[in-house]
Structures are given as structure tokens and as C-alpha cells.
């Protein structure tokens, strides 16, 4: 204050002495008035982004007018709270509300009995994150920008200093944004009754490094749901599986496929049967040959082993995904290692031997390394596998570039055992495909081919980019079919975890 004189200048004349005296008394009076209201906490806000910040401290009052409606970037904004009573007590609790963020609780100690933390006990520092809404259920595009607030709480160093909560607002890093989005998805999944969805979200949240407390909460919820049997989907109980997955019910049908070419133009690029770099092959009776050591009918042996294994393991290891069932490790990890470990644990060594023989054969025949396994059960003709592309890596190649740039040794091999089913192969002209439509009336090309017991279908990454594949439901009688698909990667990464949301593009 410009008007407050220092004692030395104030003492220079008698007149000013009296002024000084009056001022001193005034200051004393103010101090006496202030004494019952000690400061409890000071909050400062600064950073690289503007932020709207509110602080609530029950039992305390703001000194002055507090923070502005918007704390502009590049400046430090301060608010101090005063106790509304003479004694501050052992600690002061408050809540920090930054627009777009969850409220963050904090606490500052005033003596040994109090606690100092931000977000949760024991934390002196915490980075709060915020991101725009993300429609993860429909696998929508993720937001690309998020906000981070670095929070730090500094305890009072002496009896008369004030504890300090520092808020620094900035853009979230890529890793932070991912963590934030997965955390939000996990929380939303936790509020629902869908076991499958929550399980998939827990795995994703773990990978993204979501707070341990939140993951533990979600896992607790999963345990609760399991106790209520919610992990066993309709038609996936052992009773149903035992009834449907019997070799006696296997049907064989169809011999000739159908190739529906583009109706708009006979010269349509879609009608090209093999595009640059593409490999698609269907090898008849491959399973009988590669499992010949297990009996003359390797396909039947494999079908029986897998059906029996599904009944031997914990209920819930067969689960619904789209129109078909998946048989996997109980935690739905789709690595070969996780599956074979589970099978070995229940004495299914023969089944494991067969699967490992198939892994060995697939790698030798098609190159690359098996990175994931997916076993699908199609109990009858109503079951289906929606049209899709396989996903080999997080970064799916996009754009109109020449398909020859695709790495070798990347692809999918899928073995069929049991009933015959048609596979639908559709030529695509979208942004992921190198095939261009012949014009605006292009109808594309659809090819239906039969897969019989023991057949191996292989396609590489280039073919996968230009086409979708799927198993449509069948009209009329059809018995059970099991497919065993291996994803082949260029690098060895057998512990690779492949988790899918129930509504995600299935493998």
C-alpha cells in the first residue's frame, strides 16, 4: 500500500508521528479482527491453457473475490481461504473443480493429526485428466486432444505459513489422453451389467495404465458378476454345448461356389480375381493331413478334442461374440500360450498337442509367427461371423498405396472342422482397399465359397486390405462347425494379448 509509512520516515516529524500512531493502532485493530480467521489454504492456478476453476472449502471463506471466471493462461491466479472460526483444526478438506474435469478432493494438514493429500490419501502430486466424450461402444474415432492438470499440494512449513495447492493446466500428452479415455470407458462399462464389455474394458484399461484403484474396483465388480453367473452367456453353458457340439450332428453340403461380379461394368477393377500382392488359398483336407499322427480322421479328432475341452474347463471360457461363440482362455486372452496353459491345467494334453502341431504347420507353411488364436464355435446354421477384416496391428494400413508394400508373412490361416459352411468374400472399394470402384453405380464383387471339414483358408495382409470375409447364416439344416484361426505376424510375439469388445470388429 502506497499510504503506509515506514517507522523511520514516520518518526521524522512530530506530526507524522501521530499519523503513524493512528495507523499502527488501525493495523493492530485489523490484526485483532483477523486473528480469529487464520488462512487455511492457498490455491494458485497457472498454465499453458485457459481454465475455469472453482474451489470449495467447507467451513472456510474466500478472501477477496477469489478466482476470476476464467483463469487465463500465462498468469498466476491466487485464491486464499480463511477459516470461519478461530481454530483451524487438524486439517482442512476441499474440492477442486476444473471445468471438464472430475472434482478432485484435497486435504491440507494444520498439525500432526491432519493429512495432506490431493486426489487420494498419500498422494502429494496428481495429474488430473480430461478429454472430450468418446463413443467407445461404437468404436468411434478417438478424440485427439485432452487436458491435463498437474496438481501439487505443499504443506505448511511453519505454524504461520499457509498450505498451498498448485494447479498447472496444460495439454495432455498422447499417453495421458489414451489413459484418460480408457479410464472413462472403464467407468461407463462399470455402471452397466454387461460382463463381457467390462472384462474387455478392464484389459484395455490395464494396458493404458489407468489408475490401479479404478481397475481394482472394476475387478471387484467382475467377481461379483461371476458369483451371479453373468459370465456365462446364453447358449454357452456346458449343458447346451454338450448337446450341440457333437460330431454325429455334423452336416456336409454344397460343392460349387458363386461369384457375383460387379453388375455395373464387366471391366470393373472389383472383378479382378487376384490383385497385386494378394494371396488367397483354400486347401482341402489340410487338417486330416497335418494331424495324421492323431488318427485317420484328424478333423474329427480335433473337433472331438475341442468340444470335450470346452466341457472340461471352467464355464465361461466359451462366450458369445457377434453371431458365434468363442472358445478361449477364461480371461479371454487370445494368445496360444494362455489357451494351452488353461487346457494343460485340466489335463487336455492331447488337445494342446494338436493345437501346437497346427501352430507349427501354419508357421512352416505360410511363414511368420502365430500371434493369436481364435477358436469359433458355430453350433448350427443360425450362427454367423459378420463380414470383417482381420486386424494385424494397431496401425492398420490405410490409403490407396500399392498393396505390394505389405509385409510378407502377415496373414490369417483358418481351419474348419465339422459341418460345411459358406464363406463370403467381398471385394471392398473403401479407403483401406487398393481396389477402385468402376463408377458410382459399382456393385462390387461377392464370392461365396464352401469350406468343408479339414479345409484351410489362408489370406495375406494385401488380400485382407482389399476384401472382407465372414460366415453368413445358412438357410436350412446345418450341424456344428468349429473354426481355428491363427493370426500370423512378421515378428515373434506370442504373449501378445488380443482382446476384443463384443461390438468390435471380430477377428
Query: If DSSP codes are grouped into helix, strand and coil, which group holds residue 471?
Result: strand
Backbone φ/ψ region at 126: left (φ over 0), alpha (ψ -120 to 50), beta: beta
Q: Does 276 bind Zn ion (CB under 5 A)?
A: yes
Stretch of 24-32, 198-206, 262-270, 326-334 lying at the interface with Zn ion (CB under 5 A): 262-270
Proportion of the chain in helix, strand, coil states, percent, rounded to 5 = 30, 25, 45
In this structure, what C-alpha cell is assigned to residue 363? 508357421
In this structure, what C-alpha cell is assigned to residue 426? 467381398
User: What number of chain residues touch Zn ion (CB under 5 A)?
Assistant: 10
* Residue in 37, 162, 253, 264 binding Zn ion, rule: CB under 5 A: 264
Residues with Cβ within 8 Å of 247's Cβ and at least 6 positions away in sequence, in order, are 300, 303, 304, 307, 418
Residue window 373-412: x/- pattern of binding to Zn ion, with contact defined by CB under 5 A: -----------------x-----------x-x--------
With cell 505360410, the residue in question is: 366
Q: Does 263 bind Zn ion (CB under 5 A)?
A: no
Helices 298-312 and 349-366 cross at an angle (nearest 10°) of: 130
Q: Does 500 bind Zn ion (CB under 5 A)?
A: no
* Residue in 40, 148, 262, 286 binding Zn ion, rule: CB under 5 A: 262
Q: Does 177 bind Zn ion (CB under 5 A)?
A: no
- Considering only residues 15 to 54 of the shown chain, the ones binding Zn ion according to CB under 5 A are none
Nearest distance from residue 312's CB to Zn ion, in Å?
27
Nearest distance from residue 458's CB to Zn ion, in Å?
12
Nearer to Zn ion, 243 or 276 (CB): 276
Nearer to Zn ion, 300 or 469 (CB): 469
Stretch of 159-167, 273-281, 392-400, 420-428 lying at the interface with Zn ion (CB under 5 A): 273-281
Q: Does 278 bind Zn ion (CB under 5 A)?
A: no
Q: Are 235 and 379 in contact (CB under 8 A)?
A: yes
Nearest distance from residue 273's CB to Zn ion, in Å?
14
Nearest distance from residue 103's CB to Zn ion, in Å?
44
Residues with Cβ within 8 Å of 469's Cβ and at least 6 positions away in sequence, in order, are 387, 388, 389, 423, 424, 425, 426, 459
**Nearest of 75, 82, 455, 131 to residue 281 by alpha carbon:** 455
Nearer to Zn ion, 10 or 264 (CB): 264
* Residue in 268, 338, 351, 499 binding Zn ion, rule: CB under 5 A: 268
Nearer to Zn ion, 298 or 506 (CB): 506
Q: Are 502 and 200 in contact (CB under 8 A)?
A: yes
Nearer to Zn ion, 205 or 435 (CB): 435
With cell 481397475, the residue in question is: 215
Nearest distance from residue 503's CB to Zn ion, in Å?
16
Backbone φ/ψ region at 422: left (φ over 0), alpha (ψ -120 to 50), beta: beta
Residue window 336-375: x/- pattern of binding to Zn ion, with contact defined by CB under 5 A: ----------------------------------------
Nearer to Zn ion, 146 or 277 (CB): 277
Q: What's the rounded Cα separation, in Å, for the pair 427 and 430?
A: 9
Nearest distance from residue 207's CB to Zn ion, in Å?
22
Q: Are 181 and 131 in contact (CB under 8 A)?
A: yes
Nearer to Zn ion, 170 or 388 (CB): 388
Nearer to Zn ion, 253 or 264 (CB): 264
Nearest distance from residue 373's CB to Zn ion, in Å?
12
Nearest distance from residue 277's CB to Zn ion, in Å?
6
**Nearest of 189, 186, 233 to residue 214 by alpha carbon:** 186
**Nearest of 371, 392, 339 to residue 493 by alpha carbon:** 371
- Considering only residues 409 to 468 of the shown chain, the ones binding Zn ion according to CB under 5 A are 438, 442
Nearest distance from residue 460's CB to Zn ion, in Å?
13
Bridge partners (DSSP) of residue 147 are: 130, 171
Nearer to Zn ion, 145 or 260 (CB): 260
In this structure, what C-alpha cell is assigned to residue 443? 456393385
Nearer to Zn ion, 264 or 283 (CB): 264
> In this structure, are strands 39-47 and 164-171 parallel, antiparallel, or unpaired?
parallel
Query: If DSSP codes are grouped into helix, strand and coil, which group holds residue 393?
Result: coil
Q: What's the rounded Cα separation, in Å, for the pair 115 and 122?
A: 8
Nearest distance from residue 402's CB to Zn ion, in Å?
4
Ordered DSSP codes for 315-353: TTSEEEETTEEEE--TT----HHHHHHHHHHTT-HHHHH
Nearer to Zn ion, 93 or 446 (CB): 446
Nearest distance from residue 500's CB to Zn ion, in Å?
11
**Nearest of 92, 115, 78 to residue 38 by alpha carbon:** 92
Q: Are 27 and 3 in contact (CB under 8 A)?
A: no
Q: Does 258 bind Zn ion (CB under 5 A)?
A: no
Nearest distance from residue 451's CB to Zn ion, in Å?
13
Interacting residues toward Zn ion by CB under 5 A:
262, 264, 268, 270, 276, 390, 402, 404, 438, 442
Amino acid at each position: 500500500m502506497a499510504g503506509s509509512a515506514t517507522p523511520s520516515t514516520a518518526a521524522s516529524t512530530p506530526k507524522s508521528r501521530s499519523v503513524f500512531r493512528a495507523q499502527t493502532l488501525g493495523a493492530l485493530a485489523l490484526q485483532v479482527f483477523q486473528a480469529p480467521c487464520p488462512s487455511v489454504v492457498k490455491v494458485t492456478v497457472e498454465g499453458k491453457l485457459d481454465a475455469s476453476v472453482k474451489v470449495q472449502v467447507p467451513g472456510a471463506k474466500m478472501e477477496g473475490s477469489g478466482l476470476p471466471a476464467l483463469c487465463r493462461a500465462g498468469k498466476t491466479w491466487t485464491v486464499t481461504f480463511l477459516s470461519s472460526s478461530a481454530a483451524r483444526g487438524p486439517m482442512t478438506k476441499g474440492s477442486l473443480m476444473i471445468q471438464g474435469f472430475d472434482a478432485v478432493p484435497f486435504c491440507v494438514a494444520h498439525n500432526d493429526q491432519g493429512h495432506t493429500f490431493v486426489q487420494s490419501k498419500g498422494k502429494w502430486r496428481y495429474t488430473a485428466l480430461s478429454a472430450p466424450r468418446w463413443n467407445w461402444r461404437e468404436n468411434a474415432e478417438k478424440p485427439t486432444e485432452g487436458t491435463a492438470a498437474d496438481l501439487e499440494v505443499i504443506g505448511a512449513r511453519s505454524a504461520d505459513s499457509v498450505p498451498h495447492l498448485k494447479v498447472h493446466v496444460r495439454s495432455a500428452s498422447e499417453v495421458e489422453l489414451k489413459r484418460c479415455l480408457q479410464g472413462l470407458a472403464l467407468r461407463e462399462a462399470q455402471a452397466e451389467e454387461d460382463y463381457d464389455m467390462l472384462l474387455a474394458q478392464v484389459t484395455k484399461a490395464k494396458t493404458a495404465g489407468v489408475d490401479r484403484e479404478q481397475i481394482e474396483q472394476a475387478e471387484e465388480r467382475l467377481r461379483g458378476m461371476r458369483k451371479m453367473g453373468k459370465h456365462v452367456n446364453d447358449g454357452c453353458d456346458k449343458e447346451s454345448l454338450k448337446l450341440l457340439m457333437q460330431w454325429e450332428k455334423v452336416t456336409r453340403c454344397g460343392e460349387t461356389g458363386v461369384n457375383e461380379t460387379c453388375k455395373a461394368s464387366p471391366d470393373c477393377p472389383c472383378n479382378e480375381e487376384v490383385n497385386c500382392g494378394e494371396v488367397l488359398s483354400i486347401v482341402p483336407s489340410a487338417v486330416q493331413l497335418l494331424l495324421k499322427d492323431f488318427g485317420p480322421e484328424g478333423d474329427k479328432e480335433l473337433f472331438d478334442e475341442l468340444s470335450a475341452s470346452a466341457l472340461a474347463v471352467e464355464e465361461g471360457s466359451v462366450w458369445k461374440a457377434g453371431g458365434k461363440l468363442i472358445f478361449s482362455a477364461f480371461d479371454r486372452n487370445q494368445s496360444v500360450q494362455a489357451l494351452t496353459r488353461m487346457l494343460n491345467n485340466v489335463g487336455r494334453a492331447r488337445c494342446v498337442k494338436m493345437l501346437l502341431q497346427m501352430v507349427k504347420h501354419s508357421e512352416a507353411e505360410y511363414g511368420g509367427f502365430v500371434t493369436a488364436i481364435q477358436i469359433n464355435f458355430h453350433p448350427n446354421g443360425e450362427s454367423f461371423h459378420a463380414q470383417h477384416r482381420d486386424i494385424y496391428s494397431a496401425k492398420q494400413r490405410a490409403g490407396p498405396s500399392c498393396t505390394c508394400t505389405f509385409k510378407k508373412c502377415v496373414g490369417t490361416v483358418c481351419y474348419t472342422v465339422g459341418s460345411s459352411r459358406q464363406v463370403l468374400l467381398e471385394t471392398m472399394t473403401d479407403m483401406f482397399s487398393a481396389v477402385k470402384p468402376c463408377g458410382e453405380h459399382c456393385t462390387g464383387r461377392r464370392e461365396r465359397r464352401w469350406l468343408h471339414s479339414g479345409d484351410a483358408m489362408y489370406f495375406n495382409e494385401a488380400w485382407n486390405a482389399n476384401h472382407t470375409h465372414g460366415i453368413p447364416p445358412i438357410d436350412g439344416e446345418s450341424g456344428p462347425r468349429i473354426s481355428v484361426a491363427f493370426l500370423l505376424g512378421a515378428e515373434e510375439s506370442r504373449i501378445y494379448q488380443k482382446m476384443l469388445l463384443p461390438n468390435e470388429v471380430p477377428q
